[in-house]
Structure 1
Amino acid sequence: MRLSKQLRDAVQRLVEDTIRQRSASWGLATVTAVNGNGTVDIATPLGPVAAVRRLKSYSAPAVNDVVKVSRNPDGNWIVDGALA
């Protein structure tokens, strides 16, 4: 019976991870670096992400800005803009 519970738990974790990875999402992040090529590095609850493109409307990024970010199912990130 123990193996059955372990298997059930493993399948549950796999399903949760798959759903999380394949769904689009948005959240908040903090800018940790501003790069000269139109990207910023950010710190998210999922960990750091380097070289994230930003929308042109977010024209004056600065370190420590709190920004709204979006992530698509393929794992690509974009910075939508800073919070006021």
Structure 2
Amino acid sequence: MNPRQRLADAVQRAASRTVVQESSGWCLASVAAVYGDGTVDIITARGPIAKVRRLKAYASPVVGDTVKVDFNPDGNWIVVGALAS
């Protein structure tokens, strides 16, 4: 691979990472800890996220639950609810 191709590949990788980081989305996560203040710690494919607010509809979180999580580019996360087991 010549230097021009390496540069083009590096630019493409950087652009792809930026688009992913700057977009809203959702993912699945596992509940790692539950707190009495309406938050939970979760583990995602991106890594652990501490003290994520949960919707009131998800009233009884349990460690180990698989949950749907929404996030936005500002770094805000919210647990929408648990998947049926």
Q: Calculate the TM-score normalised by the size of structure 2.
A: 0.92
Q: Name the amino acid aligned to 1:66.
A: T
1:47 matched to which residue of 2? 47
Distance, in Å, in 2 between the alignment partners of 1:5 and 1:76 is 36
Q: Name the amino acid aligned to 1:21.
A: Q
Distance, in Å, in 2 between the alignment partners of 1:36 and 1:3 is 55
Q: Name the amino acid aligned to 2:24.
A: A
1:48-63 matches, within 5 Å, as: 48-63=48-63
Structure 1 runs of 4+ aligned residues shifted over 2 Å read: none
Distance, in Å, in 1 between the alignment partners of 2:80 and 2:70 is 7
Q: Calculate the TM-score normalised by the size of structure 1.
A: 0.93
Gaps of 5+ in 1: none
Percent identity for Structure 1 against Structure 2 = 60
Shift of 1:36: 2.3
Q: How many residues align?
A: 84
1:23 matched to which residue of 2? 23
Gaps of 5+ in 2: none
1:62-81 matches, within 5 Å, as: 62-81=62-81
CA RMSD in angstroms comes to: 1.2
CA contact (8 A) 1:21 1:75 kept: no
